[in-house]
Structure formats: C-alpha cells, structure tokens
Amino acid sequence: MRGGGERERAEALGREALAYADGLYNLARYLTRNPSDAEDLVQETYGRAIKASAQFTPGTNLKAWLFRILRNAFMSHYRRDRHNPVTGGLDTVTPRLPAAKDIGRQRDSVEIDRLRKAAAEDIERALLSLSEDARTVILLDLEGLTESESAEVLGCALGTVKSRLSRARAALRETLRDWEP
Amino acid sequence: MDCHDVLLVLLDYQQGRLAPEAHGQVRAHLDGCTDCAHEDRLEHELTQALERRLPQHAAPLALKRRLAAQWPVDATSPAPRRQWLRSWMPAAAAAVILLALAPLAWQRVLSPWGSGRDVMVAEAVNDHVRLVQSERPLEIESGGIHQVIPWFSGRLDFAPTVRFTGDSDFPLRGGAVGYFVDRKAAALVYGRRLHTVSVFVFRADGLPWPRAGLEKLGRLEVYRTASRGFNVLLWRDGELGYAVVSDVDPRDLSLLVGRLSAS
C-alpha cells in the first residue's frame, strides 16, 4: 500500500510531466520527422519516466529529465532500428570568425535579407537538413532550456553544448544563406 | 575582449546571460567593431526566424489523454508495454486497455470537475485550446498594445485593463473577443519563444473564484494549477478577473504575470 503523501507526489509529478508534452512532442517531430513516430516516441518517453519515477528527486529539474529520457529513447530505438538519411555531423561547419572576412559585406547583406524573408517551411526544411545532434541542440535552446540543462539532456559538458550550439546555428545559417527561394 | 572572445559569448550576450561587467565589455566591442556588430545582427535575425517562424508542433490532444491515462496514481506500478515495437497484437491490446481506462484515469488524475474552481480552470484551458487551434485565432494582429486595446472598444461591456505592451521575452501577437463561462472576455495572445500564452480578461463578479491554495505573486494573490498539460493561473484584480494559460514553464508564466500586474 502506498501512503497518501506518495500518491500526492505521484499525482503532482504526473501533472507537471504532462505540462511538457508539447515541447517533448515538438522535439520528437523534428527528430523522427513524422507524427506517428513522434507520438510513439513521446509515449515511450512517459513510459520510461513512469518506470524511473521513483528515482526522480522532487525539486530537481523534471523538464531536463524528461527531455533526456526522450533523447535516450530516440537514440536507443529509433536511430538503431531505422535508416537515418542525415549523416552530417555537427563539426562539418565552423562558426564564422573574423578571419573569414573574405565573404564580403554584400554577401552578408544577402544573408540578412534571406533570414528575414525565409518562410516557415524554408526554416523547417533547413533545420531538418541538419544532423540529429544539431537539430536537438537548437530545439533545446528554443525550448528555453539553459545550456546547463541542455548539457544534462545531452550528457555532455557545458562547454560542449556551447560549441555544439554555435556550430549548429552556423550550419543552419549557411543552409539558409545558400537556399534558393 | 577581442573578436574571438566576443563571438564565443555572443549568444550568451543576446540572451542576457552574461554578468553586467562582461555584458558591458561585449557592448563596447560591438559599438566599435563593424564585423562583430554584423555577426550580432545575423545571429539576432536567425533567432527571430526560429522563434517566430519555425513551425511548432503541439502534442495532439488524443496523445495527451493517453499520457494522462498512462501515468498511474501510484507511480511505482508497472508501465504499459512498449508501444515502440508496434507489433499488431500488443498495440491493439494496449489501445483497447487505454481506451477503456482513459476516461477514468483522466478524471482521476486531471479532471475532477466537481468544484466551481475546476470549472473556471477547465474554461480557461478550453478557451486557450480554441484560440491555439483556430485557423484564425487572432481577430486583431498586434501592431502594439495601443492598437490592440482600442480595438476592444465597443466590442466588450467593460474596459480590459492591460498595459503590458509586450517585450522581446513576451511579444504581443494580437487579440480576440471570446466568452469566459457566461460573459464576454478579451483574449490577448503573447508569445514565449515558440509557445503561445493566452491572457483572458473578464468581469470578475459572480464567478466561483478559488479561495484556498492561493500564492502571493507581487501584489496579487494567484491560484496556480495545471490541467490537461497546460499551466493555468487565475486571479482577481479589482472588478476584473484574469486567466493565463499556456504550456510554457510555470516560472515563465510567473514572469509574465509580474509584468502584467506591474504595468
């Protein structure tokens, strides 16, 4: 028999966990690329969370914990079982430093113009063209996770998140810059 | 700070994560370096494009219901079988079980629609979902609060008091007129990164406001809860009632309420 306190704790945890369903589903959609697999992945995430809920410490970061479970579920099932057409890694694009001034002001203006005019579907397509790791780090940032929370999700050091995010954004910018509308 | 140092912390700078001294150093460098200032603009444009135009996919309500049913009140009971394998028989069996248990678990975990308080919470969530799922959710697109608020004039039987003009954290997207329980309401829609936050303003009289479980938020006493995966805050301010609903982090909603009440 479970005590009333434990039951209330489980209910509170369930309520809070459900508040993150949209964010988790959004990441799942961009990882799996289709609604049906995204639903499966989110359901798998909650299934794993339920199994491990006794190990969750109340007051710690539930959101980061759930995103970490989702990412691990994706890595261990989806990525292994299905063909992943995107093979480009995060390190394929280096963020621009001042040494790359050769690109020139005119091209920079074009880049700003393209970013401003990029339609929703262009941005979505550009994001989907990136590697899974790059997509994940960009979406975690958009979801409002801090870099330390993202580091917890990705299981890496804070500095690694910083460099991954920087490279992912550089890759996205390059994709959008070279996009032919 | 040289260009290399600045570019390493540019995102932290843009997101206000630097200490004041470092923030000032980056600002000073950007004022004097056209290349880095240009990079700053490009990164800003990319953030704007992602936050405002990247399609966001909300979890289907059917999925949320299944998740609510899936989460047991006793969290240590066994989890459902993995849906992942998608073999026909276990999936069909799980679907039958979920369909059978969903209404019960939904009611047990999330929807004890017994009290007036819960009616108000349900109404707020329903109004938010209607706004978000509507093809034309906004009747007036935002060109600023001074464009949105006057638009309500003549459409409501009260003057909605909202002076928060929106900012880069919570841009005001627009407004619409709707109903809250039995009365007209002004619906204001703010953005929070990729998410939508609905703020409903309505006459407060005669509604079953929560009296217990209130928390102090600035000068307000706010009732905070979560329902169907959404975070909800309800409060009274004079003759008007306010409901804020979104799927964003509860801490973000507290920030928004602070700005709404401070203005």
Dihedral (Cα; A87, A73, B95, B79), 10-degree rounding: 170
Chain A residues touching residue B82 (CB < 8 angstroms): 44, 47
Give the start-end residues of each E strand in B79-213: 140-141, 172-180, 183-192, 195-203
Please check whether the domain covering A4-81 is classified as CATH 3.10.20.30.
Answer: no
Chain B's closest residue to A170, CA to CA, is B43
- Residue A81: what pLDDT? 56
Q: For residue A179, report the phi and psi dihedrals to the nearest 5 degrees.
A: -70, 135
Which residues in chain A are classed under CATH 1.10.10.10? 90-177
Residues 77-96 of A with CB under 8 A from B: 77, 95-96
Nearest CA distance, B38 vs chain A (angstrom): 8
Q: What is the residue extent of each domain of chain B? A: 3-53, 61-109, 116-262
pLDDT digits (tens, 9 = 90+) for A62-110: 899 999 999 999 998 776 555 444 434 444 444 454 444 544 555 567 7
**Strand-pair partners of B242:** B201, B235
Residue predicted with more confidence, B180 or B75 = B180
Residue B117 has a pLDDT of 75
Among B262, B219, B222, B229, smallest CA distance to B244 is for B222
Q: Name the most confidently modeled range: B59-63, B181-185, B257-261.
A: B257-261
Query: B83 near A44, Cβ under 8 Å?
Result: yes
CA distance B106 to B73: 11
Query: Per-residue pLDDT for A2 more than 70?
Result: no
User: Which pLDDT value is given to residue A1?
Assistant: 43
Residue range(s) occupied by CATH 1.10.1740.10 in chain A: 4-81
Substitution target from A50, A78, A122 for chain B, most B beta carbons within 10 A = A50
Q: How far apart are CA A111 and CA B33, in angstroms?
A: 19
pTM of this structure: 0.58
Condensed to tens digits (0 to 9), the pLDDT of residues B85-112 reads: 343 344 444 444 444 444 444 344 333 3
**Number of CB atoms found within 10 A of residue B57's CB:** 16
Asked whether residue A127 carries a pLDDT value surpassing 90, the answer given is yes
Nearest to A46 among B60, B67, B248 (CB): B67
Burial of A128 (0-12, 13-18, 19+ CB in 10 A): middle
pLDDT value at B84 more than 60: no
Q: pLDDT at position B111, please?
A: 39
Can you give the pLDDT at residue B134?
Answer: 64
For B116-262, which CATH class?
alpha beta
pLDDT tens-place string over residues B217-252: 888 999 999 988 899 999 999 899 999 999 988 888
Q: Answer yes or no: do A169 and B11 touch at CB < 8 A.
A: yes
Q: How far is B53 from chain A (nearest CA, A)?
A: 5
Q: CB A14 to CB B63 under 8 A?
A: no
Is residue B193 over pLDDT 90?
no
pLDDT digits (tens, 9 = 90+) for A132-178: 999 999 999 998 888 889 999 999 999 999 999 999 999 999 888 87
Query: Residues 21..40 of A with a Cβ closer than 8 Å to B: which?
Result: 21-26, 29-30, 35, 38-40
Query: What's the N-to-C CA distance of chain B in angstroms?
Result: 37
Pairwise CA distance, residues B90 & B234, whole Å: 42
Q: Which residues of B touch A120 (CB under 8 A)?
A: 53-55
Q: What is the assigned CATH class of domain A90-177?
A: mainly alpha
Residues of A in contact with B7 (CB under 8 A): 95-98
> What average pLDDT does the segment B112-138 reach?
71
Q: What integer pLDDT is reported at residue A132 of this predicted model?
A: 92
